[in-house]
Amino acid sequence: MAHLARRALLTAAAAGALPLRARAQGLAEGSWPSGTIRIVVPFAPGGSTDVVARLAAPGIQRALGVSVVVENRGGAAGSTGTDVVAKARPDGQTWLLTFDSHAVMPVLVPRLPFDLKGDLEPVTLIGGAPYVVACRPDKPFRDLAGIVAAAKASPSGVTFATPGNGTIGHLVMTLLGSRAGVQFQHLPYRGGGPAVNDAVAGHVDMVVGSAALVAPQVAGGTLRPIAQFGPQRLPALAQVPTAEESGFPGLQAEAWWGVFAPARVPAPVVARFHEALVSAFRDEAVSKQITEGQQARLVLAGPQELGRFLDAQIETWSRVVRENEIKAD
């Protein structure tokens, strides 16, 4: 009887596992996608992440043959929308397209309702754009050495604006100050637009934001770029040195966009969605809008590369947050 009971239990367990196994096998063998695909952007409409998602959607739709919708679910530094994806069914119908703040979310947002690494699967590193520090043309700053010298001469007297506490622009200037032995006065704004406006008006010494954020003012001559924090010079800022060229090896900070899936989405589905993303961004018109409109370099790296990149970003910026006791807005 015990043997029969045990066999019955095993049979029942196997039967219960069959639907999950069959579903994963079906997804892997071509039943996916089975309907409208949802790309969740964890920020309000109008920002760069929203723009990148909407640029990609038509190409993904063509590649997969189903409707693709972009859903904005902003709030709590991106964690609200991220939680939606982390808790979504792993059926390949819901994806997350997010920004560089993803890497600092665990240390900035207390009691996250999800596990950033355990509940989400890396899919594609779309690309990156260097953070740039810029000032009004009538300001005396010409390079990072000049900024550091001014801070040494007037402790806490050199101000810089960013779109908010805990943003990568805030963190990279904090790291620069730490490495140079100086302090800068951070003025957080609620968004990049107000920060840029006050830099143009002269209410703050500098603004630190993505290349796309400051590009219109740089092109119009109302802001002068001082340095960029990318791994190499951006073609549009070919005359502006990187931080590494300015004597700060390893000091890099880029805005970046990445795509994640709920954990346990079958690997073949992740691979196929990655291929659809790559196809969408390699479209000539889309690629031009990314490289020129967002001042970004396309990377289009796969899951393993995004996973390693995210690990490095979390390690770097979490340390800066903890060591300087930085809090979110």
Query: Cα separation of 93 and 111, whole Å?
Result: 27
Average pLDDT, stretch 203-218?
A: 95
Per-residue pLDDT at 126 exceeds 60: yes
Closest CA to 212 of 239, 244, 237: 237
pLDDT tens sequence across 254-292: 999 999 999 999 999 999 999 999 999 999 999 999 999
Average pLDDT, stretch 313-325?
A: 95
According to CATH, what is the number of the domain 130-237?
Answer: 3.40.190.10
Burial class (CB in 10 A: 0-12, 13-18, 19+), 122: buried
pLDDT tens sequence across 175-209: 999 999 999 999 999 889 999 999 999 999 999 99
Helix (DSSP H) and strand (DSSP E) numbers for the chain: 11, 10
Query: Hey, what amino acid is at 135?
Result: C
Q: Say yes or no: do domains 36-128+255-323 and 130-237 share a fold.
A: yes
Query: Cα separation of 205 and 5, whole Å?
Result: 77
% the chain with pLDDT above 90: 84
Report pLDDT for 30.
Answer: 65
CB neighbours (10 Å) of residue 148?
22
Per-residue pLDDT at 221 exceeds 90: yes
Fold topology of 36-128+255-323:
D-Maltodextrin-Binding Protein; domain 2 (3.40.190)
- CA 23 from chain centre, in angstroms, equals 32
Per-residue pLDDT at 247 exceeds 80: yes
How many residues appear in the chain? 329
Least confident of 25-39, 150-164, 243-257: 25-39
pLDDT tens sequence across 11-20: 444 444 434 4
Residue showing tokens 């594609």: 124
Beta bridge partners of 228: 132, 242
- What are the residue boundaries of the structural domains of the chain, listed by start? 36-128+255-323, 130-237
Q: What secondary structure, in 3-state letters, does 39-54 show?
A: EEECCCCCCHHHHHHH
Strand 254-262 vs strand 120-135: parallel, antiparallel, or unpaired? antiparallel
Phi first, then psi, for residue 159 (nearest 5°) are: -105, 150
DSSP characters over 8-65: HHHHHHHHHHHHHHHHHHHIIIII---S-EEEEESS-TTSHHHHHHHHHHHHHHHHHT
Distance linking the first and last C-alpha atoms of the chain: 64
Report pLDDT for 76.
Answer: 87
**What's the maximum distance between 2 C-alpha atoms anywhere in the chain?**
91
24 pLDDT tier (thresholds 50, 70, 90) = very low
Average pLDDT, stretch 119-134?
A: 97
Average pLDDT, stretch 51-71?
A: 97
Q: What is the mean pLDDT of the chain?
A: 90
- Asked whether 136 and 173 are in contact (CB, 8 A), the reply is no
DSSP characters over 224-288: EEEEE-SSS--GGGTTSPBTTTTT-TT---EEEEEEEEETT--HHHHHHHHHHHHHHHHSHHHHH
CB burial string 236-247: b at 16+ within 10 A, e below: bbeebbbbbebe
Query: Cα separation of 227 and 324, whole Å?
Result: 23
Report pLDDT for 328.
Answer: 78
